[in-house]
Amino acid sequence: MVNGYESITGQINAELQKPSTDFSFYQNLYAANNGRKELNTHINTKVSEKWDTGFYLHGNLRDGHHDKNDDNFLDMPLGKQINVMNRWQYTNPEKGIVSFINFRYMEDENQSGQIHLDHNGDDGGDHGGGEDLQQLWESEIQTQRIDVAAKLGWVNPEIPYQSIGVQTAFGRHDQDSFFGLNMYDIIHTSFYGNAIYNSIISDSRHKIKTGVSFTYDEYDE
C-alpha cells in the first residue's frame, strides 16, 4: 500500500528512456498499407557533468479510407498526432541523488463514421456519392494534452538501505468531440504526488517502508 490505494490491483512499471543511457540520435520511420505513417526521433546530449537532456518526437498519420466490407463505414479511424517531450536528468553520485523532469505536449485528432463526398465532390473511389451529408453518421475527437512530471530519488551514501523517493505529476487534458448528434467536450486537470521512505531497523533483516500520496482531479464537462 506504499503507492496508495489504487496499487492494490497491481501496477505496470513503464519506464521512459534515460537521456544519459539512450542513443545520442535515434530515428525510426514506419509505413503500412492501411495508410498509417509514423515517425519517431530521439536526440540526447550531455549538458554538464551532472545534467543530461533528451528531446523526443513522435508523429503519426492515417489518411487512407478503408472499407473492405463495403458497409460505407470507415474500417479504422482517420487520424493524426504529434507528441513532443523534453526530458532532463540530474545525477549526483557523491550525494546519492538522481532526478528527472519531463515536459510533454500532445495533439491528437481522430475521425470515424460513414464515408461521404468531400467538399470538391470527390469520394476518392470509395462510397458516399450523392448521399445527404445530414443523414450520415460521423464522429470526431480532438485532443490537446500537457504533462509536467518530476521524480527525485535520494540514497543515503552512508546507509545504502536508507532512501527517499518523491514524484509529482501535473496534467491538463482538453478534448472536443462529437459522436453523431451527441457532443462531448471536457477539460480534465489532474495532480498526483507521493513520497516513499525506505530504511532498516538494526540490520537488513528488519525493514521499514512507508509512503504518503495525494491525488487531485477536476472535471469540466
Which has more pLDDT, 33 or 53? Answer: 53
- The CA–CA distances, whole Å, from 205 to 99, 105, 159, 199, 202 equal 29, 45, 15, 11, 8
Instruction: Determine the residue type at 182.
Output: N
Answer for the pair 3, 9: CB distance below 8 angstroms, yes or no: no
With residue 155 as reference, give the H or E element that holds it: strand 138-155
Domain holding 64, by residue range, is 5-18+59-220
Q: Is residue 26 part of a domain?
A: no
52 within a domain of the structure (yes/no): no
What confidence tens digit (pLDDT) does each residue in 180-204 have?
999 999 999 999 999 999 998 888 8
Decide if pLDDT at 121 tops 60. no
Residue 212 lies in a domain: yes
SS3 for 178-210 is EECCEEEEEEEEEEEEEEEEEEEECEEEEEEEE
Residue 35 lies in a domain: no
Number of H-type helices and E-type strands within the chain: 0, 9
Is the predicted pLDDT of residue 210 greater than 60, yes or no? yes
Asked whether residue 164 is domain-assigned, the answer is yes
Task: State phi, psi for 167 to the nearest 5 degrees.
Answer: -140, 140
* 116 occurs within a structural domain: yes
Of 42-56, 63-77, 86-100, the least confident: 63-77
Q: Are 123 and 115 in contact (CB under 8 A)?
A: yes
Residue 4 pLDDT class (50, 70, 90 cuts): low
pLDDT at 8: 62
Collapsed DSSP state (helix, strand, coil) of residue 134: helix
Rounded Cα gap, residues 80 and 147, in angstroms: 19
**pLDDT computed for residue 165 by the predictor:** 95
pLDDT at position 141 is 96
Residue 132 lies in a domain: yes
Q: Is residue 160 part of a domain?
A: yes
Q: How confident is the model at residue 9 (pLDDT cuts 50, 70, 90)?
A: low
**What pLDDT is attached to residue 55?**
97
> Structure pTM?
0.81
The mean pLDDT of the chain is 87
Rg (CA), the chain: 24
- Given its phi and psi angles, is residue 119 left (phi above 0), alpha (psi -120 to 50 degrees) or beta? alpha
Predicted pLDDT of residue 102: 97
If one counts the domains in the chain, the total is 1
Residue 199 bridge partners (DSSP): 208
Which region holds residue 61: left if phi is over 0, alpha if psi is between -120 and 50, else beta?
beta
3-state secondary structure of 18: coil
